[in-house]
Amino acid sequence: MSVSTSKTPADETRPVQEGEPLLEVENLGKHFPVTAGLLRRQVAAVKAVDGVSFSVRKGETLGLVGESGCGKSTTGRMIMRLLDPSFGKIVFEGQDITKLSQGRLRPYRRDLQMIFQDPYSSLNPRKTVGAIVGAPFRLQNIEAKQGVKKAVQEILELVGLNPEHYNRYPHEFSGGQRQRIGIARTLALKPKLIVADEPVSALDVSVQAQVVNLLEDLQDELDLTYVVIAHDLSVVRHISDRVAVMYLGKIVEVAERSDLYERPMHPYTNALLSAVPIPDPAERGDRQRIRLQGDVPSPLDPPPACRFHTRCWKAQDICKQVEPPLVELSPGHQAACHFPENTTVSATDAVAKAAVTPGTAPSEDPEPAE
Amino acid sequence: MAAPIEVSGSDTEAQPESVLAGVDRKKIQGRSLGQIAWLRLKRDKVALTGAVVVLVLILIAIVGPYFVQDPLAYHQNLIDPTYNRPKGGFWHSGISADHPLGVEPGTGRDMLARIVHGARISLLVSFLATLMSVVIGTIMGITAGYFGGWVDYVISRAMDAFLAFPLLLFAIALVGVVADGAFGLSGNGLRVSVLVVVIGFFNWPYIGRIIRGQTLSLREREFVDAARSMGARNSYVLFKEILPNLVAPILVYSTLLIPTNILFEAALSFLGVGVIPPKPSWGGMLTLAVPIYSSDPMYMIIPGMAIFITVLAFNLFGDGLRDALDPRSR
């Protein structure tokens, strides 16, 4: 490896301060081509992610929720550049990393790590724990001060594993322990941002809590920023500072955690939240479960305008003709709906307002001007 | 350090697989997958027998020729001139204390010596040919599987073409075409090289397909993404992440390919394109035995049994190895 270890290009810019955007995603999209015939002609495209914009502030946890197939994992993989975006922009610490070659990207990978969903598939069964957790040092050509083995053992201890398990193989561990090994691997290089793709969904509920708490402890201790991708709303509520809700390749609502869970604006968010089980049977009575009709439409041919109109109980003609932009409807609360709930303004009004106020782009800007 | 929950204690000790229940475990310690496979293999008596026979055969092939008589020395005094077959012995095979497997009809050459020398040729050709197939097949398969797209398309079609090739006819023709002294080799050295290249070069698609399929599934595993997300290059992913996971199928397929190649070498020798007589080979001995099997059946049975035992031992060992390395495939 020829990459210098002392200085990454990111060091040259001013370090990102707490609360400032560490990661900004603008109109990011991924279309997977569908080919047919001998010449592999493209006949269609799966619009897995179709223009999402959000930003992650340093030190916060952004939850990305949505049902399976809505593009949340694809978004995570694009941020990690494991998938190349079809369009859009990813800005990490002020540097556009969308078009960087894998070689140029390598130094940034130190600051950008990923926790994977399946602890059984994310650890190479032929490698010892020491080799797995030590791999980032080798790949990034980093010398640990006290030697790689010592460094790895410290990290193992940090995630609650016995450092003496250094020479063991992944198959000797339980699912929760394996996920801890995966977390240890991402922490090896002291990253700034961790994309956690369904970090606990493959685990037992009892173990889920341990891993989620571990992630939170590590965040405090190591000053981490998380993008947590999940479909479990309770997990997201527990861990996130802000939550973005995705539906069919688009973000439909972004808000502070408490704001989103208490005053969801988008009908889809309402429907999702109404599906969260309430542990206390006595309280179940006074809640109405919103049952959406039908399935999620195919991302091959998503509905025009508002993508949710085919299943929305509030849909009117405008929803089929004009796409509602993602705009701020109350401070820190963005939603993309013509007829939002829990608010007096509608997106359409906000658009009209944005149109007369120059300098505020309504739809593409992740952080609309106040 | 803010103590993360659940400090690992005794309950975190690994649970050995139930298959190892009978294994002595006073102290539980980390076992690699290879160690577990070895423990499983040790419990498989049939495979172990195969392995022992294989080891004995390899030993015989390496050091045996130094202990037996000259395989080319004639013992005409042991031949009954009337029937041109060995005098006496079991079924007129000439078996005696001096010649435990009898002597060859017509010439009286010692059969034990010829079998032992034949084993050397047989194993040499089959091991080298297998090595060649495995190396080419692994490289091609892993490349096709990992990179996909047009690379996969080209390699896969090449495999199809190779599989459609009439290998036996090609081998016979090639041996006739390659002139003595080509490539700086002559005589038996050249014959053996041609056999190795022909057998090895045309067998790679079989292992290539297996490796390609395995790579296709391994490529999608998250540990590959994890390595890439840490900045690993393709070469690292291929050789450090994927290849170690292919050791089991490569090993198993090799041990199952060796007997096939032994049979193939015997067949080519039988057809007269193996090593040049008088150098002994198992297939060549069978050729000589065909016209006289009724008067001296042992002359056919002995090389036949040598081939049979060798192939069976390798197959039993290979099957056991597969079961030990990948219990799910059973």
Residue ranges per structural domain of chain B: 121-329
B25 is written with which tokens? Answer: 């475990």
3-state secondary structure at position A88: strand
Minimal Cβ distance to A185: which of B31, B226, B233: B226
Question: Are the C-beta atoms of B282 and B306 separated by less than 8 Å?
Answer: yes
Does pLDDT of A267 surpass 60? Answer: yes
Contacting A residues, span 138-167, partner chain B, CB-CB under 8 Å: 139-140, 157-162, 165, 167
Q: For A66-85, write each residue's pLDDT tens digit.
A: 888 888 888 988 988 888 88
Within 13 Å and on the Cβ side, how many CA atoms surround B190? 16
B33 touches chain A (CB under 8 A): yes
Q: Which pLDDT value is given to residue B16?
A: 43
CB distance A115 to A185 below 8 Å: no
Chosen for mutation from B7, B31, B40, B222 (greatest number of chain A CBs closer than 10 Å) is B222
- pLDDT top residue among B107 and B145: B145
Q: Tokens 């090289």 sit at which residue? A: B193
The CATH architecture assigned to B121-329 reads Orthogonal Bundle (1.10)
- Helices in chain B by DSSP H: which ranges? 33-42, 45-63, 111-147, 149-163, 167-177, 187-219, 222-229, 234-236, 243-270, 282-289, 298-325
With residue A131 as reference, give the H or E element that holds it: helix A129-139
Q: Residues B271-327: pLDDT tens digits?
A: 878 787 778 888 888 888 888 777 777 788 888 888 899 889 988 888 888 888 765
Structure tokens at B50: 């195969």
Q: Do A109 and B229 touch (CB under 8 A)?
A: yes
ipTM of the complex: 0.80
DSSP string of A116-129, one letter each residue: -S-TTTSS-TTS-H
Q: From CA B156, how far away is CA B208, in angstroms rounded?
A: 9
Indicate yes or no: CB of A124 within 8 angstroms of CB of B12: no
What's the pLDDT score for residue B134?
92
Neighbours of B151 (CB within 10 A): 14
With CB atoms and an 8 Å threshold, state whether B5 touches A213.
Answer: yes
CA–CA min distance A242, chain B (Å): 24
- Kindly identify which residue of chain A lies nearest to residue B236, measuring between CA atoms: A139
- Please indicate if any CB of chain B lies within 8 Å of the CB of A84: no
Report the sign of the C-alpha dihedral through residues B237, B240, B244, B249, in that order.
Answer: positive
Q: What is the pLDDT of residue A3?
A: 41
- Rounded Cα distance between B69 and B76, Å, is 15
**What is the distance in angstroms between the Cα of B209 and the nearest Cα belonging to chain A?**
22
Task: Among A172, A193, A218, A221, pick the best mutation site for testing chain B contact (most B Cβ within 10 A).
Answer: A172
Residue type, B231: G
Whether omega before B4 lies within 30 degrees of 0, making that bond cis, reads no
pLDDT tens track for A223-246: 889 999 988 888 888 889 999 999
> What sign does the CA torsion over A38, A39, A43, A46 have?
positive
Q: Chain B within 8 Å of A127 (Cβ-Cβ)? A: yes
Q: Which contiguous run of DSSP H or E holds residue A225? A: strand A225-230
- Could you write out the DSSP letters of every residue in B111-158? HHHHHHHHHHHHHHHHHHHHHHHHHHHHHHHHHHHHH-HHHHHHHHHH
DSSP 3-state of A31: strand
Backbone angles phi and psi of A358, in degrees to 5: -70, 155
Residues of chain B found within 8 Å of residue A121, distances taken between Cβ atoms: 221-223
Q: Is the dihedral of CA B164, B167, B172, B175 positive or negative?
A: positive
* Tokens coding B26: 């006073």
Q: Which of B245, A143, A126 is nearest to A134 (CA)?
A: A143
Per-residue pLDDT tens digits for A43-63:
888 888 888 888 898 889 999
Q: Is the CB of B160 inside 8 Å of chain A's CB atoms?
A: no
Name the one residue in this structure whose structure tokens are 């999402």.
A52
CB–CB contact B4 A158 (8 Å): yes
Give the residue from B155, B158, B157 showing the smallest Cα distance to B140: B155
Whether B243 contacts chain A with CB within 8 A: no
The answer to whether the beta carbons of residues A323 and A305 sit under 8 Å apart is: yes
Looking at CA atoms only, how far is residue B41 from chain A in angstroms?
18
Residues in chain A: 370
Question: Is A132 in contact with A121 (CB distance < 8 Å)?
Answer: no
* Rounded Cα gap, residues B211 and B135, in angstroms: 11
Chain A residues 244-303 with a CB less than 8 Å from chain B: none
- Identify the burial level of B14 via C-beta atoms within 10 angstroms of its C-beta, where 0-12 means exposed, 13-18 middle and 19 or more buried: middle
Distance of alpha carbon A285 from alpha carbon A293, whole angstroms: 22
d(CA A341, CA A274): 14
> Which tens digits make up the pLDDT trace of B72-87?
777 777 777 776 777 7
Calculate the average pLDDT of chain A.
Answer: 81
User: Is the Cβ pair B225, A173 closer than 8 Å?
Assistant: no
Cβ neighbourhood burial of B63 (10 Å; 0-12, 13-18, 19+)? exposed
Does residue B11 belong to the interface with chain A, where contact is any CB pair within 8 Å? no
A87 beta partners: A29
- Residue of chain B whose alpha carbon sits nearest to that of A187: B230
Q: CB-based contact (8 Å) between B97 and chain A?
A: no
pLDDT band at A11 (very low <50, low <70, confident <90, very high): very low
* CB pair distance less than 8 Å for A160 and B222: no
Contacts of B148 in chain A (CB under 8 A): none
Among A116, A122, A126, A197, most B C-beta atoms within 10 A, so best to mutate, is A126
- When pLDDT is cut at 50, 70 and 90, the band that residue B90 belongs to is low
Cβ distance A161 to B225 less than 8 Å, yes or no, reads: no
B247 contact residues in A (CB cutoff 8 A): 126
Closest CA to A233 of A215, A252, A246, A223: A246
Judged by a CB distance cut-off of 8 A, whether residue A92 touches chain B is no
Query: A174 CB near a chain B CB, below 8 Å?
Result: yes
**In a mutagenesis test of the A interface, which of B18, B230, B247 is the best target, namely the one with the most A β-carbons within 10 Å?**
B230
Strand order in the sheet with A225-230: A112-115, A193-197, A225-230, A61-65, A242-247, A250-256, A333-335, A327-330
